[in-house]
Each structure stands twice: as structure tokens, then as C-alpha cells.
Structure 1
Amino acid sequence: MSFCKDRVVVITGAGAGIGREHALEFARQGAKVVVNDVAAPDAVVEEIRALGGEAIGSRDDISDWDGAGAVIAAAIDAFGTVHTVVNNAGILRDKMLVNMDVDQWDAVIKVHLRGTFCVSRHAINHWRAQDKAGTPVDAPRLVNTSSPSGLFGNPGQINYGSAKAAIAAFTVLAADELARLGVGVNAIAPTALTDMTAGLDAYVAAVEAERERTGFDPGDPGNIAPLVVYLGSPASEGITGRVFTIKGGEISVAETWVKGPRAVQEKRWEVDEIAATLPGLVERARPNTQINGSPRT
């Protein structure tokens, strides 16, 4: 079964790593792919064509408003429309908060968060225009990329984690706002071995140990692509506003912030009352979660 036959899919940051695997799997599932990457889209375009698929490359900067518009315009010029956008592009500038400078903060926020907004906004312009013209795009989809670092936290990645947490919130909000247009909006929080995870020694060691034990490579970025293809396809109808973690052969539905233990009174709280009440609420609350999913201690 071809989940995305003749669908037009724009994938940002698709020149290597997880994005490359997305592009190849969409092509295998029948999609026409726009491979966006500021550095090297051409090799992936050729790989797709060698598979018998259709693809074009784009070197536009998706964190720039006009650059993001150019990516969507290129898809429409080449293939007539856009059905799915996969916001995957990202960079790292890892530092602890006490050592991070404003340029390192801005660079990461710009690519991840602003880039997700810019490309999504241009795609939505196209979908709204088609809807108003009476020719709505079939099953429009946004698939965003969050991260366990954004959902659970990872020291040393305060810029990256903050951007990825914001993308998770963006996903929930956009799903609500775009429901009337029939746009499905979801996100993934993937874990895989790529150039961006090269310095995570503990994770690399765990992946190598599992590969040796089972023969399955849980760090292969190709493990992530099938979920993204499904979320970018018409088959995902009815699933929207969700963030999914995926690591190797494990998929889970991330649950948003929820109200935990609470105290209520029908008057303004005084500071001394809060001092007497809040520690007990915190004691009864579930602990925050570590990046590997276990409770923080």
C-alpha cells in the first residue's frame, strides 16, 4: 500500500540524518518530495530519482520569511500544490545557561521555532486560498519536530530544549486553530543517532549494546520515518494535536501538562497560607521526568 501516492511533501533539513530518511520513505510511499536543506539537498534528490520517484531540491533558508515562502512556492511551481509539510530542520549550539551567549540562543530559536512557524504559515496560506477557491487540498498535514530534550529536559541544551518545547505547544495550538480547514497537525520527539547526537556518549553506548544484543539498531534514523509518513498521509485522519516520542522500536503518545494535586479556597491566598500548603502539594505531585522517561530524583 502506498500511503502517500501522488502527494506533494515538503521536508526541511532533509539533506542528511533523520530528514533524509523521511524524504526517502515518503518517496517509497509514492510522494513527490521537495528536499530542503541549506547545505546539500542534491544527493537526496538523486537518491529519490534512482528509486523511480520525483523530487526537487531547495537550498532556501526556512528561518527567513521569504526563504520559507520560496520553499512552498517551489513545491507549487514544480508539482501544483503542497499536501504535507515536515518541519525537521534544526541546529545545535549546546551550552550551559551560565556559558551561553545571546547569539547561540538566537541561532537555535530562529532555525527551530521561527523556521517551523515560517514554513507552516506559508503552507497554510496556500491551503486557505485553495479552500476559499472551492478546491481544497486533500488531507493537508503538518508534522513538526520536537525532542525529548524539550519535553523532559536535558542539561546543556537550554536553547534547543526551549525551542523544542515551544514546538510541542505550537503543535497543540495549531491543531485547534486549523481544524476548520481539515489540517492535521502533529509532532514527533525522536531519538536516533545522527550528527546532532554525536556527543551523547551514554546514549551511543546504550545503542551499541542493544545492537550487539539483539541485532536491531535502535539508533538508526530510518526508524523514525514510518511514523512521520503515516502522520503526513490521509490515513492519519482524526489524529491531531498530538506529540509522539519515538526511539528505535518504541512509540508513545506524550501527554501534555496536566493539573496535579491542588488546593482551593474561596478567597485570596496569603503568603503564609501558601507557605503552609505548597510543600505538601509538591510532595504529592508526580516527579518531573528525565529524558530517558524515568522519574527525576
Structure 2
Amino acid sequence: MDTEQICAGRVVIVTGAGRGIGRAHALAFAAAGASVVVNDIGSTLDGASTAETPAAQVVAEIEALGGRAVANGDDVADWEGARRLVRQAVDAFGKLDVLVNNAGFVRDRMLVNLSEDEWDAVVRVHLKGHFATMRHAIEYWRAEAKAGRPVDGRIINTSSGAGLQGSVGQSNYGAAKAGIAGLTLTAAAEFARYGVTVNAIAPSARTRMTETVFADMMAAPESGFDAMAPENVSPLVVWLGSVQSAAVTGRVFEVEGGKVALADGWRHGEPADRGARWDPAELGPVVADLIAKATPPEPVYGA
């Protein structure tokens, strides 16, 4: 592995790392010198269990390249499973430095047809799956900080354009990903005292979840640069997991191909202040003026 070792000696958990973007992250961290806990339950696109062992396969790839890795098959949205995942990193490699939350699946459907189970399943794995791993990781880091041991921790969460701008047919997924962005901001503010940064990415890449969305981009690019390759997302994640990123926290990055951008997020707009309670009948022109002065929102995907 000849990539610059900017994560040498770091211990990293990557969830959902058996395929796609997660696999790319695991391999990139290993190439950068990290020891990696490769988490994946081997599920299908919609979260159903299978007998596959993709985490073990990625571990074998890393070891074949001279890296260090162990496989983990816990469900990140299971409270004790998330606890075991964090504990395995510490038991296997002596510590934990970086948590990359990537695991997830989709059950796409227009909201009018969306079932309660389809809502619950997607929100569970994405939003609760992020919360549970973060909760056990910060418990470990807080104990380390209280014991006087230095902490230089990193959490990198995975949001989505579907959460930042909305996506037709993905209300469950979009709501969970929007929640992850909000969770990232809150955690960044709370965890700073322990020496832990928290950021998120909103990636665009070709995976099992996006192959239908990017169907027109699946052909080999004439330029030789595959802008939809999941490996394009990982360099920023590796940098965010390194010691070099200590000053960056509470940010959401959009990543696609060779492009990296900061998502601007919700901001306070210029108010119309009456200095007293509004009469409902007065608000029509007031709201129209506020909208006219504001920057138009980004269009919803698929609208």
C-alpha cells in the first residue's frame, strides 16, 4: 500500500463496508495506514438478511495488500450490536479513533403508498444506526478523556442530497438523511469538549442504492475518469478521519466525482418584523415579499 499514510496508527470503524462506498472507505483507510473494523451484516438492497459475508471478503482484500482489518457482522441499529462493534475495535486494536457511519438501505416508494414497516425499517437503520454507534463511541471517548488520556476522535456520518434537498419517492430515506445532518450538528457541538469532531458527507456515487438513479451514467466514460465510482468519495472521508482535520467540525460536505463542496444548510433569513402580533390577513403580501427576496431553494430530486 503506497498511499500517503495520513492515518497511520489510527483505528477506524466503517459500517456498511462490505460493498460500494463503505468498501471503498475501508480500503482507502487501510491504504492510508489505519487498522479497520469492517462492519457489514450482508443484507440485500432492501435490508433482508442473506448468508453472504462481504465484510470478511473486504478484510481479505485489505490483508492481501498488507493492511490490518477485522470483520464485524453486528446490526448497527441494534443497541447491543452497536456496543459490541465499538468494543471489538478496542479489543482488536487497543483503541478507537474514527467512526464512519455508512450503513443503510432503501425501500423506495411514493409517500401515498409507503407502509409503516417501510418507514420504520429505513429510519431505523439510517438514523438509529447512526445514533447507536455514535452513542457507544462517545461513551468510550468520554471515559478516555476523563481518565486523562488524549483523545483525537473523528465521526464521519453519511447524509444524502435526498436529505438536504428532498427526493421524490424517498420520503423515508430523505427524512432519515435529513435527521442525520441535524444529528451531526448537535453532536459536533456536544462532543467538542471530549476532543471529538463530527462531520457528514452527502455523496453521489454508483452503488446498489443508486444504480437506477444513475443508470444513464453507468457506461464507461470516454474521458477515462469515472465520476460515479464510489472510490471518489473516500479521499475526503480519509482526510476527515485523519489528525489533519482537527479544526473542522459540524460541517456537511457534498462529494461527487472530483468535486467537493460545503452544503450551506438552513440559515436565518431576513425577517419582516411588525413589532407586534401579526393579523393573519396581513401576511399574504409579507410572505410573498420574503419569498421574492430569498434565494430559491434547490430543486427536489425527481420533481
TM-score class, shorter-chain normalisation, is over 0.9
1:77 matches 2:88: no
3-state secondary structure, aligned to 2:122 = helix
State the Cα distance separating 1:261 from its structure 2 match. 3.9
What is the rounded CA distance, in whole Å, between the counterparts of 1:290 and 1:206 in structure 2?
20
**22, 33, 37: which is aligned to 1:34?**
37
**261, 278, 282: which is aligned to 2:287?**
278
Q: Is the 8 A contact 2:217 2:228 kept in 1?
A: no
**23, 27, 49: which is aligned to 2:26?**
23
- Which AA in structure 2 matches 1:22? H
- Which AA in structure 2 matches 1:197? T
State the Cα distance separating 1:135 from its structure 2 match. 1.2
What is the rounded CA distance, in whole Å, between the counterparts of 1:22 and 1:247 in structure 2?
14
Pairing of 1:207-218 with structure 2 (within 5 A): 208=219, 211-212=221-222, 214-218=223-227
Provide the TM-score with structure 1 as the length reference.
0.94
- Which AA in structure 1 matches 2:93? F
Pairing of 1:41-190 with structure 2 (within 5 A): 41-137=55-151, 139-190=152-203
Give aligned-pair identity as a percent: 50
C-alpha deviations, 1:63-119, integer Å up to 9, x for none?
Answer: 010000010011111111100000000010001110000100000000000000000
What is the rounded CA distance, in whole Å, between the counterparts of 1:291 and 1:225 in structure 2?
26
Question: Which position in structure 2 is the counterpart of 1:192?
Answer: 205
What is the rounded CA distance, in whole Å, between the counterparts of 2:39 and 2:177 in structure 1?
20
3-state secondary structure, aligned to 2:41 = coil
3-state secondary structure, aligned to 1:41 = helix
State the Cα distance separating 1:274 from its structure 2 match. 1.3
Provide the TM-score with structure 2 as the length reference.
0.92
**5, 8, 13: which is aligned to 2:11?**
8
Compare the two structures and name the one with the higher helix fraction: 1
**216, 222, 225: which is aligned to 2:231?**
222
What is the rounded CA distance, in whole Å, between the counterparts of 1:281 and 1:269 in structure 2?
15
**259, 262, 270: which is aligned to 2:268?**
259
**205, 210, 221: which is aligned to 2:216?**
205
Q: Is the 8 A contact 1:207 1:218 kept in 2?
A: no
Question: Which position in structure 1 is the counterpart of 2:49?
Answer: none
What is the rounded CA distance, in whole Å, between the counterparts of 1:256 and 1:180 in structure 2?
24
What is the rounded CA distance, in whole Å, between the counterparts of 1:147 and 1:47 in structure 2?
28
1:235 matches 2:238: no
- Which AA in structure 1 matches 2:22? G
What is the rounded CA distance, in whole Å, between the counterparts of 1:291 and 1:240 in structure 2?
27
What is the rounded CA distance, in whole Å, between the counterparts of 1:74 and 1:262 in structure 2?
50
What is the rounded CA distance, in whole Å, between the counterparts of 1:273 and 1:150 in structure 2?
33
C-alpha deviations, 1:151-202, integer Å up to 9, x for none?
Answer: 11110011001111111111111111111111111000000011111221xx
- Which AA in structure 2 matches 1:87? N
- Which AA in structure 1 matches 2:87? A
Q: Is the 8 A contact 2:17 2:39 kept in 1?
A: yes
3-state secondary structure, aligned to 2:209 = helix
Q: Is the 8 A contact 1:127 1:136 kept in 2?
A: no
Q: Is the 8 A contact 2:35 2:67 kept in 1?
A: yes
State the Cα distance separating 1:204 from its structure 2 match. 2.9
State the Cα distance separating 1:291 from its structure 2 match. 5.6
- Which stretches of structure 1, 4 residues or longer, exceed 2 Å deviation after superposition? 206-209, 259-262
1:269 matches 2:282: no
Q: Unaligned regions of 5+ residues in structure 1, if any?
A: none
- Which AA in structure 1 matches 2:186? L
The total of aligned residue pairs comes to 289
What is the rounded CA distance, in whole Å, between the counterparts of 1:56 and 1:160 in structure 2?
29
- Which AA in structure 1 matches 2:154? R
